[in-house]
Amino acid sequence: MQKLQSQLKTVSKSLAALSKQVERISKQVDKLQPAKKVAAKRKTAPGRRPADRKAASTMGKTVLDTVFDAIKRSKKGVTVAQLKQGTKLDARQLSNALYKLSQKNKVYAKSRGLYVKK
């Protein structure tokens, strides 16, 4: 019985020491967590987008106007690569603009990747 009581005392002491360590660690984690949340909020400001490269050169023109003007200037048509280079638009914007222009029957695809004015 004496042996069992001494073992229980040592177990309770070690459990107390472990609980103190867990409390210290949890306090350290709590100090670190708000700093991470603040840093994440700074990276993604709501309602803000990165500045567009083409914004200064095409004031007042929409993306559709820009793409249509580039296609209109060529007689044989324009490839997607030429449009990317000439309009400085990314692939998604260009793809969306070409789709909308084709739905409005302003341009058509003469072959894959080659667009001509109707």
CATH architecture of 63-117: Orthogonal Bundle (1.10)
DSSP string of 25-67, one letter each residue: HHHHHHHHHHHHHHHHHHHS-TT--PPPSSTTTTTT--HHHHH
Of 50, 102, 110, which is closest to residue 75 (Cα–Cα)? 110
Residues 94-104: tens digit of each pLDDT: 999 999 999 99
For the stretch 5-45, pLDDT in tens is: 899 999 999 999 999 999 888 888 888 776 555 555 555 55
Q: What is the structure's pLDDT at 56?
A: 47
- Evaluate if pTM is beyond 0.75: no
Domain boundaries, the chain: 1-43, 63-117
